[in-house]
Copies of this chain bind each other. A is one copy, B any other.
């Protein structure tokens, strides 16, 4: 490892502003109100629960108490990249070094966090300090978007409710949003349309979905969808095949709407929900290594005029995604998701993508953050791996028989494309 070169590259990349194409930030608050909010992020509760089992329970309603309870467990996860995110938050935003993080000091940290995070203007200070220029959100169809600052926030539509739609409560929610019962395919199209119109009026980024492992897309006739709808309205339960059929139908409907409104559809492929029975909230999901993108051939081919930024959860789908982006014009590899969002797997995928996918198609990273505080440390983790990959490429290029010299300027231009220019061009959100 050429530490001097990596460091020089990193420092230049770190200066670049942050354009974050996928977060779960709540735009009405944006930042955390205290360190308890930060520690409630599932990474800390799940790792703490994993290291020192507490049946998945923490005092989530009481951030002060949560802080007190979780602090003694943090020493057990101090080796993790996730703990390092927390340390950057502490150092950069709270002015507290690592040495402050011992169990008995929890109240000092708590008080300091209130002082910083609970003051008016903290969000704006944070945005300036972290140099955040654009934050994409993940929104439910009925989220309140009135007053959204579309110069900074970009709403994106969670499409799970339309696609994994198999219970009465979900249907009633959508009916309420539509303003009438959903009993026909036409009604379903209407609620999709109404949703897209609402989102378009607020600067919609894209439709998005985190998709179960081994999802399959295929053509579903309206009549077949109507039959499923009739049975659902009558209260008949759907079996696995029915759910798969509706899933394919629902995804096609959303893709139709993306086409109509010229919006991308961001796929996040491969999660297994609710498999760990004793986990913390949002800490019960895993993934399946047995998963292929072959299930997406139909939707990617049929909606050839829709762009599909795509993230995959399993390392075993990494080369499939690279190959898809290599030949498919409408697939854009996007970031490094969840269990693949750690140095080892980022390092491999970055190299693969840079070597064989047209550079203009690469969306470098997204933070997946729940509070704006997490955007900076997560991007730093990625930027460091990117700097390592680019430094290696610079060194290799000097002696590689086929390559031209890959200069520092070339490296920084590629980083800027991946981090800023490509995501802005692909989403059309400048």
Would A392 and B1 count as touching, CB distance under 8 A?
yes
Q: Interface size (A, Cβ < 8 Å)?
A: 95
Classify the interface of chain A: helix, strand, loop or mixed.
helix
Would A79 and B286 count as touching, CB distance under 8 A?
no
CB-CB nearest 6 A-B residue pairs: A51-B358, A84-B402, A277-B301, A53-B329, A380-B401, A79-B359
1/0 per residue, CB under 8 A from B, across A71-98: the answer is 0000011111110110110000000001
- A396 contacts the other chain (Cβ, under 8 Å)? yes
Closest to A279 in B: B327
A interface with B by C-beta (< 8 Å): 1-3, 6-7, 10, 14, 46-47, 49-51, 53, 76-82, 84-85, 87-88, 98, 272, 275-279, 283-284, 286-294, 297, 300-301, 304, 314-320, 322-330, 339-340, 342-345, 348, 351-352, 354-361, 377, 380-381, 383-384, 392, 395-396, 398-404, 414
For A320, give its contact among B78, B85, B286 (CB under 8 Å).
B286
Residues of B within 8 A of A1 (CB): 2, 392, 395-396
The answer to whether residues A320 and B384 also contact, given A51-B360, A342-B355 and a CB cut-off of 8 A, is: no
- What distance in Å separates the Cβ of A378 from its nearest Cβ neighbour in chain B? 9
Residues of B within 8 A of A396 (CB): 1, 384
Would A316 and B289 count as touching, CB distance under 8 A?
yes
How far is it, in angstroms, between the C-alpha of A304 and the C-alpha of B396 when the chains are bound? 42
The answer to whether residues A326 and B10 also contact, given A348-B344, A395-B3, A403-B84 and a CB cut-off of 8 A, is: no
How far is it, in angstroms, between the C-alpha of A330 and the C-alpha of B314 when the chains are bound? 22
Residues of B within 8 A of A7 (CB): 399
Residues of B within 8 A of A344 (CB): 348, 351-352, 355
